[in-house]
Amino acid sequence: METLSRFLVFMSLFSGLVSGFTLQNLPITSFEESYMQLFGDKNLFVHKDGKSVRLTLDERTGSGFVSNDLYLHGFFSASIKLPSDYSAGVVVAFYMSNGDTYEKNHDEIDFEFLGNIRGREWRIQTNIYGNGSTHLGREERCNLWFDPTEDYHQYSILCLFYLFYVDNVPIREVKRTSTMGGDFPSKPMSLYTTIWDGSKWATNGGKYGVNYKYAPYIARFSDLVLHGCAVDPIEQFPKCDEGAIEYIRAAQEISLSERAKMEVFRRKHMTYSYCYDRTRYKVSLPECVVNPAEAQRLRVYDPVTFGGIPRRHRSGKHRSKRSRTDGTVSI
């Protein structure tokens, strides 16, 4: 009861803060300080500055890394530059999960970047799972207003309610509702970053797979932000980074200007939402708010195929490999 009481006090403080947040002055963490290698051997390379990482996919293997700590709430971000040229079947993932700890009832919050054939753009897929509800995918897909292979761009997840950001523009909001029940993520999660072969589903439902003639495929990461409240695995109580609440000024609602940007983005760039997929769900999932105009617009896109769960190397054996080695955007 004491732990629960302390947790409720923490939640009231965290959720009652000023609306909106800023990325300025958020601490950039070094790889050595905050992460360990997940898999990939030499396909993971840490630059001399200790704060930039290169992940490679080749014929041998993909690669990835994971945070040392689990987090219940916070702000998690990375600047990412994706592989260029032919990238069909390639998947770059920046996501939170606790599959190593809760194998049968894990939670997950996903940013997945899906490669494409030459001349076609990368796409972003977002998704959430709660309590092992992998049979109920809540995927959304969208295009971007820039070429993510030409330069670094910032991709962020705010975990209290869940907000996905691209270059400080909110692109998706997921709130806890009573209708979602246990499907809403609720347990501490680690942050994962990976590159891997998703040939069976990632591009046109598997029509185009990875062509290793164009390998190696290299994804570059910098400005790694892990700013929140890590959870002690024994005490199960969040311990916030120094200044975390001061820097992450998040409230129950995003600002009106942020919401307007999100609506513009979704109208221009969203190409798929599970809420309108009548092939998968004869009746929309209960949290969906159906917009007839949006439903009509999204009907023009081809059916979507999704990948399976074992694709991200969740096995705990990988965790033992430790590596030593606000701008204005028009959308």
Active site residues: 108, 112
Alpha carbons 44 and 58: distance in angstroms, whole number: 12
Coil/strand/helix, residue 126: strand
- Amino acid at position 248, single letter: I
Q: Which two tokens mark 263?
A: 């609506």
Residue that has been written with the tokens 């979602």 in this structure:
180
Alpha carbons 31 and 52: distance in angstroms, whole number: 8
Q: Please tell me the total number of residues recorded for the chain in this structure.
A: 331
Alpha carbons 207 and 89: distance in angstroms, whole number: 9
Contact 234, 109 (CB under 8 A): no
Distance between first and last Cα of the chain: 48
- How far CA 128 is from CA of 8, 70, 122, in Å, comes to 24, 17, 20
What phi and psi values does residue 158 have, to the nearest 5 degrees? -105, 120
What H or E segment, with its residue span, contains residue 93? strand 90-97
